[in-house]
Each structure stands twice: as structure tokens, then as C-alpha cells.
């Protein structure tokens, strides 16, 4: 069975992305798939990661010993075969908490695919947050899928529990766009896991 981690990239208690994460939980079983896939939902706030302050870079420190909550983040990332990353846009970049979480990683995500879904409370869909995240993921060796998926007007479309607000005008667009994103990451995760890039 392949595992795809769906990561909420905001640690704000009132994050709009939490409604989006809950919506994905509701629709995930509707996804047609020819491969056995397990989806794991990761909320960064639950890890309570401090700001990165280790004496050595993770890639240069193979013998790290970390507190349980920090090690759990690395373990969850290492155990996944692919990722969906939900990111808002803060001042034309990803949130500090999301960048900080990736600063803890070394090779846990190397050669695994990631689909970026950006979101916002307006029609722009957090596109600059997605753009800023791409080079961070690439530095970690993560295979970023070519086209991020922007999701706009989240508070006007979703209730906090993930259900659509009655008569939300973007509900059909959400259905199409998010199913397409899920299908895409499922495909690439299956391909790259069953036929991995050869290593030396």
C-alpha cells in the first residue's frame, strides 16, 4: 500500500486551510484509484515544532537525536511515498511555520512527489505562497509536480468542518479542481514508488 501525506502548512488556530483539510477528508474516499492508497492527514500545529536551532544542518548530521515530537515529524515524512502540501500565502511567501518544518528535514522526502495546493480568502488562491515553496522542496530533493493548484475564497465556500456552505458558487469548481489534484498526486506517487529512480 502506498501512503500520501496531506500536510496543513499553517499553524494558526483559525487557519482557513483547516476547513480545506477537513474537506479533503470528506472527499478522499470518492477518488477512483487502481492502486491501494492510504492518506495520512498531518496538521503542523500538532507537532509543536520550535524554531530550528540545531548546531548542524540536518543533511550533515546523520546521528541526530531529537525530542519525540520533532522525531515524529521526520518519521511521518519519511514513511510517506508522496505529499500534498496545503499552503497559504503570507506576504508573497509560505508561512514561517511551514518553512521551519521543512528546515528540520534532511533526506526524508528525496525523490518523492509533492503536489502543492495553495489557498486564500480571495480569488488569487495564494499563488505566491506556492511559488515560494517550490525551491525549498527542490532543495530537499522532493519532486514538485509542475503546476500548483490554487484554491480561492475558502471562507466563502467551506464551513470549518469541510462541508460546503449552502449555494457556494465555487463548489463545482472545488469538486473538479481538488479531484484532479488528488488524481494527479496518486498517479505520480504510484509511478515513482513502483519504478523508483535507480540509485548508486
Rounded average pLDDT over 28-37: 72
Domain boundaries, the chain: 1-192
Name the residue with cell 498526486. 185
Q: Kindly tell me if the per-residue pLDDT of 34 is higher than 60.
A: no
Give the architecture-level CATH label for domain 1-192. 3-Layer(aba) Sandwich (3.40)
Residue 46 contacts residue 21 (beta carbons within 8 Å): no
Query: What is the per-residue pLDDT across 89-133, written as a single tens digit (0 to 9) for each?
Result: 999 999 999 999 999 999 999 999 999 999 999 999 999 999 999
Rounded Cα distance between 116 and 129, Å, is 10
- Tell me how many helices (H) and strands (E) the chain has: 6, 6
Query: What is the per-residue pLDDT across 39-86, written as a single tens digit (0 to 9) for each?
Result: 999 999 999 999 999 999 999 998 899 999 999 999 999 999 999 999
Residue 33: predicted pLDDT: 57
Which of 115, 134, 129 is closest to 24 using CA atoms? 115
Sign of CA dihedral 134, 137, 142, 148: negative
Rounded average pLDDT over 10-32: 90
Return the ∠ at Cα 127 (arms to 10 and 145), rounded to 5°. 90
Query: What is the per-residue pLDDT across 153-196, written as a single tens digit (0 to 9) for each?
Result: 999 999 999 999 999 999 999 999 999 999 999 999 999 999 88
Q: Kindly tell me if the per-residue pLDDT of 197 is higher than 90.
A: no
Residue 199: predicted pLDDT: 72
Amino acid at each position: 500500500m502506498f501512503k500520501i501525506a496531506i500536510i496543513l502548512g499553517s499553524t494558526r488556530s483559525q487557519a482557513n486551510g483547516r476547513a480545506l483539510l477537513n474537506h479533503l477528508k470528506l472527499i478522499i474516499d470518492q477518488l477512483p484509484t487502481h492502486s491501494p492508497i492510504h492518506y495520512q492527514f498531518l496538521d503542523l500545529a500538532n507537532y509543536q515544532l520550535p524554531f530550528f536551532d540545531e548546531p548542524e544542518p540536518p543533511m550533515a548530521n546523520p546521528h541526530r537525536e531529537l525530542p519525540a515530537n520533532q522525531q515524529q515529524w521526520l518519521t511521518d515524512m519519511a514513511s510517506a511515498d508522496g505529499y500534498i502540501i496545503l499552503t497559504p500565502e503570507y506576504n508573497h511567501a509560505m508561512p514561517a511555520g511551514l518553512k521551519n518544518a521543512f528546515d528540520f528535514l534532511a533526506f526524508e522526502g528525496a525523490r518523492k512527489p509533492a503536489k502543492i495546493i495553495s489557498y486564500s480568502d480571495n480569488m488569487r488562491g495564494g499563488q505566491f505562497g506556492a511559488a515560494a515553496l517550490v525551491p525549498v522542496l527542490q532543495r530537499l530533493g522532493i519532486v514538485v509536480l509542475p503546476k500548483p493548484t490554487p484554491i480561492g475564497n475558502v471562507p466563502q465556500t467551506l464551513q470549518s468542518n469541510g462541508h460546503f456552505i449552502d449555494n457556494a458558487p465555487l463548489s463545482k469548481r472545488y469538486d473538479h479542481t481538488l479531484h484532479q489534484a488528488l488524481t494527479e498526486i496518486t498517479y505520480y506517487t504510484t509511478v515513482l514508488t513502483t519504478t523508483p529512480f535507480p540509485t548508486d
